[in-house]
Amino acid sequence: MKLLLLEDDDLLAESLAELLEDNGYRLDVSSNLNDAQAFMATEQYALAILDLGLPDGSGVDLLKRWRKGQVDIPILILTARDTWEDKVVGLRSGADDYLTKPFHEAELLARLHALLRRRQGASHGYLQVSGIQLDEEAQRVCCDGEQWASLTATEFRLLRYLMHHPDRVHSKAQLLDQLYALEQDAAAPNLVEVYIARLRRRLGKDLIQTRRGQGYLLVSHRSS
């Protein structure tokens, strides 16, 4: 699952990137409005984290442009502006949540999980699709009520993305884009095949289907 971070403090951006990647997210980082706008126009994100005070303009103005342009992903404002007036402006401009600096890492992660679960329509702590339960905090999976099994970081990112978008065909290129950030060296497309095979061994062969020449999809209802 890929997130967009707009933050002009290099040290904070680096720290956040490490935190989020350790917790199974992929991250593209922008330090200015123009780059963030370009990323949003060309990439697919599950959520954006937005600072307000930026070197080339206002994060609130960018937020308003995104909402007017039908950008409907959850957006979390992360800023040093801590007055109630700032919070009201941010939320009324289209933000889904507002967190002030300094912050506790556990609270940031909890808010991200809550926003993503809310978008998925889930009130519990697990993603559930087709008999699979995915524990996002512990990065483990349970299939058809069997014992929980731990996932590697890449297995977890891939399965979570597929579960957030069931019954949709995803090309290898789209899946790689979700697994690796833009600044990383390009990964070989056959890595997707490797991790799809690993997930099938854990979950069964019929859950993740191959569409020849198109890609893969996770089915939300398995045939009896």
What is the number of other CB atoms lying within 10 angstroms of the CB of residue 168? 13
pLDDT digits (tens, 9 = 90+) for 170-185: 998 888 887 775 444 4
The tokens of 148 are what? 């929980």
C-beta separation of 160 from 150 below 8 A:
no
Determine whether domain 126-218 maps to CATH 1.20.120.450.
no
In the chain, domain spans: 2-120, 126-218
Specify whether the CB–CB gap between 30 and 5 falls below 8 A.
yes
Counts for the chain of helices (H) and strands (E), in that order: 8, 13
Q: What is the pLDDT of residue 125?
A: 61
The confidence score (pLDDT) of residue 211 equals 92
Quickly state the pLDDT bin for 30 (edges 50, 70, 90): very high
SS3 102: coil
Pick the CATH number of 2-120 from 3.40.50.150, 3.40.50.620, 3.30.230.10, 3.40.50.2300: 3.40.50.2300
- pTM value is 0.63
| Distance (Å) of CA 129 to CA 32, 81, 161, 203, 219 | 37, 39, 12, 12, 8
Q: Is the pLDDT of residue 188 over 70?
A: no
Q: What is the mean pLDDT of the chain?
A: 87
| pLDDT band at residue 136 under the 50/70/90 scheme | confident
